Chains A and B, each alone.
Chain A
């Protein structure tokens, strides 16, 4: 089974149609409302970004996800991304293990380096060391979740002697980890080495670029002996705006697109739609465009949509989620299941990871 969900950047953006800017409080509550709606309409995943500068609100993802966990039953809680460069890996190990217990295993996370230069010095790091930080910090995090007692020494953090990260992961199985990247082959290589998932946030860049990056990940995943290239765990982004009639969607979304913080005042909506996964149109058009992802990237495990962005009001976002959950995702589930080879893995869950651990090591030797 593929997993479908949404990811939020958590930006506070003025609605360009009426000049209204939500308060931080309103935006935080809106993110929660969007997450609860995701579960209500039958989506599988909610992921939040992590940012440490205005106009973004989600500086403290596990606090937010813990609150959402308490108010949901099925929804998988994730991140997009967790900053492996500037967070202490010890604190990531602790925070997400705690969240994993509280959410009864409905947790995974996506590692990212972040793209805001000043965050590095604000957290005492050097942006020129971005890739080495991502590599060393994750190597430590990986051990902290798998070894009860860790002796460790590295370049970027004080050494650890006889350290045990608490709580230990739920059922002795760490949360599944994705590695997110827009342009770095090093991160695809890192994901492949560990047999972790690779999430290509393809929402702004053309398809060809990500075809190369995902192919590299799949080849290296097989190289490291985790399975065939087709068994590698791939996640993709997307962004959509839908109305029953295509022209209505374009008319309503255009002012939001034209003023969006990331790509506004640049290419036209039409150019951007042609070059990136953005789809503005009818639910059927979204279905058709999303189905092309499989042709480009192979059968994959997780599809996340960016829905609450560009200053769209909460009411509109909730309507979009209704359409996504009722008209789009059910068809995508059915269509993506057709012709999907049996050996292609499902989207990762805690239960599946526990089962795999128990199959691989019946003597209970663990990870």
Chain B
């Protein structure tokens, strides 16, 4: 059976970064579920920190550098995406948003996406729902129901009111894996520029 492709976008800035740590946990959980379903997966991890200058240059020039092109193509060609950002000033980080700003706005249409975020306090957790989910809804991605937020304390015990981080990670991974496994085999990317024959373009303009 064809191997699935999973792109993991992490916008963490420090090294090591808890954002990357969360992305890795989610990747593992998704991979395990897919393995159980007999669907091997290739993971393409994208650290936006390494592409920060390329992303800014793309904004200025209108074209991506080769490394950024490769990252954008990996996301566009993936069967599923895990997107993880730190919460900055009540929302996704500017770098995270900028990456999806330079991504073609049809690249994620119909693609299952798992959203996750990290922050210093659980008070930021709804940023996932009021910022990330609408962003991917605009891109017409299929966002899995469980969005995973990891506050600093979650890396320890968490709080008594919430299931622990491992439970949420496992549930989100299961949801993403389920959507990815259920996808039809990805069609090969079209080689030719799609062009509408000129007669059709002209005919569409004739007065009716």
Contact = CB atoms under 8 A, between A and B. Distances in A.
Question: Secondary structure at chain A's binding surface: helix, strand, loop or mixed?
Answer: helix
B139 to A, nearest CB: 20
Nearest to A265: B60
Contact of B195 (A153, A186, A264): A186
Interface string B168-208: 00000000000000000000000011111110011011010
A267 B207 CA distance: 47
A313 to B, nearest CB: 25
B195 A216 contact: yes
B51 interface: no
A220 B194 CA distance: 12
Interface in B24-65: 56-57, 59-63, 65
A296 interface: no
A216 B60 contact: no
A220 B204 contact: no
B196 A189 contact: yes
Given A155-B207, A267-B57, A189 B63 contact: no
A348 B197 CA distance: 26
A135 B202 contact: yes
Contacts of A131: 201
A154 interface: yes
A259 to B, nearest CB: 12
B65 A189 contact: no
Interface of B: 56-57, 59-63, 65, 192-198, 201-202, 204-205, 207
Contacts of A69: none
- Which 5 pairs between the two chains have the least Cβ-Cβ distance? A266-B60, A193-B198, A185-B193, A267-B57, A185-B195
Given A132-B204, A189-B201, A193-B198, A213 B62 contact: no
A220 B63 CA distance: 26
Which of A136, A205, A267 has most B Cβ within 10 Å?
A267
B195 A189 contact: yes
A213 to B, nearest CB: 7
A231 to B, nearest CB: 19
A209 B193 CA distance: 11
Interface residues of A, number: 32
A271 B65 contact: yes
15 contacts: A135-B202, A136-B205, A189-B196, A189-B201, A192-B198, A205-B63, A206-B63, A213-B193, A264-B60, A265-B60, A266-B56, A266-B59, A266-B61, A267-B65, A275-B65
Contact of B57 (A155, A186, A190, A266): A266
A185 B202 CA distance: 15
Nearest to A194: B198
A264 B192 CA distance: 33
A136 B204 CA distance: 10
B60 A263 contact: yes
Contacts of A271: 57, 65
Given A206-B63, A216-B192, 5 more contacts: A155-B205, A155-B207, A189-B197, A209-B63, A265-B60
A263 B196 CA distance: 32
A220 B195 contact: yes
Interface of A: 131-132, 135-136, 139, 153-155, 185-186, 188-190, 192-193, 204-206, 209, 212-213, 216, 220, 224, 263-267, 271-272, 275
A267 B61 contact: yes
Contacts of B65: 267, 271, 275
B75 to A, nearest CB: 19
A132 B207 CA distance: 13
A216 B202 CA distance: 19
B207 A186 contact: no
Contacts of B196: 186, 189
Contacts of A139: 202, 205
Nearest to A262: B61
A216 B192 CA distance: 8
Nearest to A209: B63
Contacts of A209: 63
A177 to B, nearest CB: 15
